[in-house]
């Protein structure tokens, strides 16, 4: 795998694989048994939607004078659309654009002299580049959440809140770090990953996850803090899904306009 597209570098977490998850999503859980089961069921319900619009926001969780970063400050914002059935996602930030077509990713940087799209294949290998690209794939994130049966020791309801005008229930939960590793860096255990980092974090069992489930049964906001993957400045990712059923078409770049990345 070659160098990952620059547009994805600003995202905080290694999020699930393009082209489908490593294992089939089990949506048979009892949706009334616990807050965790409600979150998983909402992720599965969201995956069944035809389309949606999506926004990614990155928020720094630590201050760093060297980099001029303040805790709570937001960085790169990606906006785009998702076609769940076709597994196509189009994202943009400034002059940078990314298109997911299952396991294939196209990236174009308008600031570069070469205006062609760079084409990357996510081949399932355990590399940091693949992990980085997966961070910007909302379908993979939802597949991971829908497949979980462990949301930490005390998943709970925070309260009722509005997200972009939609009534939602706000949940606080956790994701088992081993599950994150299986989703984002297949073949490497969490302990092995932490010990391989230049600035290893303590070995923890869970990573925080928040979810806002709408009165339509879908996930409208997901917030995850994946410092488990060694983001030294500390990053939290906020994903919002909205305008379900939006009418749009994601066109793939013509072969003549692409080059292998």
Give the model's pLDDT for residue 20.
37
pTM: 0.80
Q: What angle do CA 135, 137, 138 make, to 5 degrees?
A: 110
- Classify burial at 231, counting beta carbons within 10 Å of its beta carbon; exposed 0-12, middle 13-18, buried 19 or more: buried
Q: How far apart are CA 27 and CA 48, in angstroms?
A: 11
Q: Express each pLDDT in 26-85 by its tens digit.
A: 433 333 458 999 999 999 999 999 999 999 987 766 555 565 556 555 566 889 999 999
At 209 the three-state DSSP class reads strand
Thinking of the domain 22-248, which architecture would CATH place it in?
Clam (2.50)
Contacts of residue 74, Cβ cutoff 8 Å, sequence gap at least 6: 57, 58, 59, 60
- Classify burial at 201, counting beta carbons within 10 Å of its beta carbon; exposed 0-12, middle 13-18, buried 19 or more: middle
Strand partners, 90: 81, 99
Alpha-carbon distance values, 104 to 18, 100, 101, 132, 158 (Å): 8, 6, 5, 14, 38
- Point out the residues of the chain with pLDDT beneath 50: 1-32, 126, 232
Query: Domain map of the chain by residue range?
Result: 22-248
Q: Which two tokens stand for residue 24?
A: 């089939």
Q: How far apart are CA 154 and CA 100, in angstroms?
A: 35
Give the model's pLDDT for residue 193.
76
Alpha-carbon distance values, 255 to 73, 85, 106, 116, 117 (Å): 39, 23, 11, 10, 9
Q: How far apart are CA 240 and CA 35, in angstroms?
A: 20
The closest of 238, 219, 184 to 45, measured between CA atoms, is: 219
């Amino acid at each position: 795998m070659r160098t990952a597209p620059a547009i994805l570098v600003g995202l905080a977490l290694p999020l699930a694989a393009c082209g489908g998850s490593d294992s089939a999503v089990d949506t048979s859980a009892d949706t009334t048994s616990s807050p965790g089961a409600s979150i998983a069921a909402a992720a599965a319900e969201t995956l069944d939607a035809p389309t949606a619009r999506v926004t990614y926001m990155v928020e720094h969780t630590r201050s760093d004078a060297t980099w001029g970063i303040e805790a709570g400050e937001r960085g790169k914002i990606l906006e785009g659309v998702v076609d769940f059935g076709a597994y196509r996602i189009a994202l943009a930030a400034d002059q940078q654009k990314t298109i997911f077509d299952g396991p294939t990713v196209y990236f174009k940087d308008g600031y570069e002299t070469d205006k062609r799209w760079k084409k990357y294949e996510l081949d399932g290998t355990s590399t940091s580049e693949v992990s980085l690209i997966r961070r910007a794939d909302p379908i993979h994130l939802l597949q991971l959440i829908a497949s979980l049966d462990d949301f930490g020791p005390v998943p709970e309801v925070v309260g009722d809140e509005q997200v972009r005008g939609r009534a939602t229930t706000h949940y606080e939960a956790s994701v088992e770090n081993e599950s994150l590793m299986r989703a984002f860096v297949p073949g490497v255990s969490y302990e092995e990953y932490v010990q391989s980092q230049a600035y290893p974090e303590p070995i923890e069992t869970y990573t925080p996850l928040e979810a806002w489930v709408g009165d339509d049964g879908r996930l409208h906001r997901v917030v995850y803090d994946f410092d488990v993957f060694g983001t030294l400045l500390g990053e939290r990712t906020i994903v919002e899904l909205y305008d379900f059923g939006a009418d749009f078409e994601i066109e793939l770049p013509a072969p003549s306009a692409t080059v292998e990345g």
